[in-house]
Amino acid sequence: MAKKDPFSSLRIPEFRWFLAMRLSIVLAWSMQFVLIEWEVYRLTKDPLSLGLIGLMEIIPAISMALFAGHIVDQKEKIGLLMKCFSGLALISVLFCVLVYPKSMEAFSKQTLLFGFYALVFAGGIIRAFLIPSVFSLLGLIIPKKEQPNAATWSSSTWQIAAVIGPALAGFSIGWVGVFWSLVFVVFCVLMALFVLSRIERKPILNPKIGEPILKSLKEGISFVWHSKPILNAISLDMFAVLFGGAVALLPIFAQDILKVGSEGFGILRAAPAIGGLLTMLLATYIPLHQKAGKKLLLAVFGFGVCIIVFGLSTYFWLSVVALFLSGVTDGISVVIRQTILQIYTPDHMRGRVSSVNSIFVGSSNELGAFESGLASKIMGVVPAVVFGGMMTLGIVAVTAVASPKFSALDIEKDLEEN
Position 204 in a domain = no
* CA-wise closest residue to 146 among 301, 7, 346: 7
Lowest mean pLDDT among 4-8, 303-307, 311-315: 4-8
Structural element, H or E, at residue 413: helix 411-417
Q: How confident is the model at residue 362 (pLDDT cuts 50, 70, 90)?
A: low
- Within a domain: 26: yes
pLDDT at residue 198 is higher than 70: yes
| Amino acid at residue number 119 | L
Beta strands (DSSP E) in 116-193 are none
Q: Which domain holds residue 158?
A: 9-196+211-417
pLDDT of 26 strictly over 60: yes
Distance, CA of 250 to CA of 368 (rounded, Å): 13
Residue 171: CATH number of its domain: 1.20.1250.20
Across the range 55-78, mean pLDDT stands at: 82
Closest Cα to residue 53, out of 74, 414, 61? 61
Q: How many domains does the chain have?
A: 1
Q: What DSSP assignment string belongs to 326-353?
A: HHHHHHHHHHHHHHHHHHHS-GGGHHHH
Residue 1: its pLDDT value, please?
40
pLDDT per position as a tens digit, 83-96:
999 999 999 999 99
Residue 369 has pLDDT above 70, yes or no: no
Categorize the per-residue pLDDT at 142 as very low, low, confident or very high, splitting at 50, 70 and 90. Answer: confident
Residue 207 has phi, psi (to 5 degrees) of: -75, -5
**pLDDT of 182 strictly over 90:** yes
In a domain, 246, yes or no: yes
Domain contains 202: no
Would you state the pLDDT for residue 2?
Answer: 47
Q: Is residue 173 part of a domain?
A: yes
Query: In this structure, is residue 317 part of a structural domain?
Result: yes
Residue 324 pLDDT: 93
What local confidence, expressed as pLDDT, does residue 344 receive?
Answer: 77
pLDDT at residue 379 above 50?
A: yes
Lowest mean pLDDT across 106-115, 249-258, 311-320, 371-380 = 371-380
Q: What is the mean pLDDT of the chain?
A: 82
pLDDT (0 to 100) of residue 415: 60
Report yes or no on 45 lying in a domain: yes
Mean pLDDT value across residues 393-406: 82
Most confident of 97-111, 133-147, 186-200: 186-200
